[in-house]
């Protein structure tokens, strides 16, 4: 799994609560990404990071924030979870001009 | 129009068949092309990675890129039941910020 650990692997939370997902890598890759995967939509980019404290928005960033205070950790926060954010969330890492490696995913259910 | 389109499937083939999976795209700036395989409840794993146009072969897998037609393909020869998975194409203009197709679910029947 290319040294990527996502936590938690499963989470059920209530609407309106904040939720933080963690991605930890041991590969020292520069780029880190958060995607969500939904039926019929494939993988869609939420946010990405190109270095410590350097982040940018992806295609579906509304309602999400990220932080990267260390090379190895990339956090995704749902500020106030909604049912539309029920999804499977994948973290990925890459080096410039190379392929992305994915974690095993976090299955989030917002009730 | 989505930036990357992919035959949604599902696709069912008998064991030993040749499988062709295809994606089309609209962004002519894409230069990096990838195919991922994803088993149920697992993360995507990289199968093939190509840069620019041309063919690349790895065992039973062949990836083709035709940038003039904005079309990429993955061929699987002598398909096996263990190839049953969802196949995702992905592409990028700059080597980061990969854009994914929605995936094609493949079943290889023994």
Partnered with residue A77 across adjacent β-strands are A20, A65
Looking at chain B from residue 14 to 53, which residues have their Cβ under 8 Å from any Cβ of chain A? 32, 34, 36, 41-46, 49
Question: How far is CA B27 from its chain centroid?
Answer: 17
Size of interface A-B (CB pairs under 8 A): 53
CA of B74 vs chain A CAs: smallest distance (Å):
17
Instruction: Look at A97 and B46 and tell me if their CB atoms are within 8 Å.
Output: no
Note whether A32 and A74 are within 8 A (CB): yes
pLDDT over 90 at B96, yes or no = no
pLDDT tens-place string over residues A48-77: 999 999 999 999 999 999 999 999 999 999
Note whether A111 and A12 are within 8 A (CB): yes
Helix (H, G, I), strand (E, B) or coil at B98: coil
pLDDT tens-place string over residues B5-18: 998 789 999 999 99
CA of B87 vs chain A CAs: smallest distance (Å):
10
């Amino acid at each position: 799994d290319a040294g990527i650990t996502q936590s938690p692997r499963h989470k059920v939370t209530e609407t309106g609560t904040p939720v933080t997902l963690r991605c930890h890598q041991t590969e020292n890759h520069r780029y880190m990404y958060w995607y969500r995967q939904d039926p019929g939509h494939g993988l869609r980019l939420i946010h990405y990071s190109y270095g410590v404290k350097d982040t940018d928005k992806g295609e579906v960033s509304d309602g999400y924030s990220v932080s990267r205070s260390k090379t190895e950790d990339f956090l995704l926060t749902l500020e106030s979870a909604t049912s539309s954010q029920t999804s499977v969330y994948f973290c990925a890492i890459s080096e410039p001009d190379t392929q992305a490696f994915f974690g095993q995913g976090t299955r989030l259910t917002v009730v | 129009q989505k930036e990357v389109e992919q035959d949604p499937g599902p696709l069912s083939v008998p064991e030993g068949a040749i499988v062709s999976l295809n994606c089309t795209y609209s962004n002519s700036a894409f230069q990096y092309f990838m195919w991922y395989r994803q088993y149920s409840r697992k993360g995507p794993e990289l199968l093939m990675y190509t840069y620019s146009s041309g063919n690349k072969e790895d065992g039973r897998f062949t990836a083709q890129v035709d940038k003039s037609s904005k079309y990429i393909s993955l061929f699987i020869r002598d398909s096996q039941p263990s190839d049953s998975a969802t196949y995702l194409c992905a592409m990028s203009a700059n080597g980061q910020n990969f854009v994914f197709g929605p995936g094609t679910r493949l079943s290889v029947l023994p």
